[in-house]
Amino acid sequence: MNPASNLILIGPMGSGKTCIGKRLAERFGLRAVDADRELELRAGARIAQIFEHEGEAGFRVRESAVLAELLSGDGLLLSTGGGAVLAADNRRLLRERGFVVHLQVSVEQQLERLALDRSRPLLARGDREQVLRELALTRAPLYAETADLAFDTGAAGAAEAALGLAQRLDALWRRPPSPAPSPLGVTA
């Protein structure tokens, strides 16, 4: 298995990356960061506004920069945006800098979970089900290529899914030991 100090959640919108991520971060003593929220904070604008003014291409450039900066450190639980895997450089970075978990969810479950969500620009393009199916067709192979572990969030609630995933991670994820402090309090 991939020994890494960062835990990274990838998967489609509505798979539970943020909700499950917060619970896992607490369980494993990691700092939880949602890449999309971090991007919004740095840009001073909502994702929908970035899409409107810069298009998806502009958003993806910003996303790659945020991922690179966030993953330069350790001890992080990173919940990525659903499209973070689109760029080959992002996929490489995710694999190199963390243990990557692909949270899986069916299109039907996504539709149910996202029924009231109007904040996602890609879902504003028309038939939500068709959009989600097209995104799944394109992105599922990229998630599979990037992930160390696939976990189906299924019909489980966030708490139940987080517990199940934490148990799998306890068995599979080998975090490198933290460096021991030197006698002078300086780490090597």
pLDDT tens column, 98-155: 999 999 999 888 878 777 667 676 667 778 888 889 989 999 999 999 999 999 998 7
Instruction: Report the pLDDT averaged over residues 36-49.
Output: 93
User: How many whole angstroms separate alpha carbon 63 and alpha carbon 18?
Assistant: 16
Tell me how crowded residue 109 is: count the other CB atoms within 10 A of its CB: 19
User: How many whole angstroms separate alpha carbon 147 and alpha carbon 94?
Assistant: 9
> Where in the chain are the domains?
7-172
Which pLDDT belongs to residue 187? 47
Q: Which CATH superfamily is domain 7-172 in?
A: P-loop containing nucleotide triphosphate hydrolases (3.40.50.300)
Q: Is the pLDDT of residue 21 over 90?
A: yes
> What residue type is assigned to position 35 of the chain?
A
Q: State the alpha helices, DSSP H only, in the chain.
A: 17-28, 35-43, 47-70, 88-97, 107-113, 128-146, 158-172
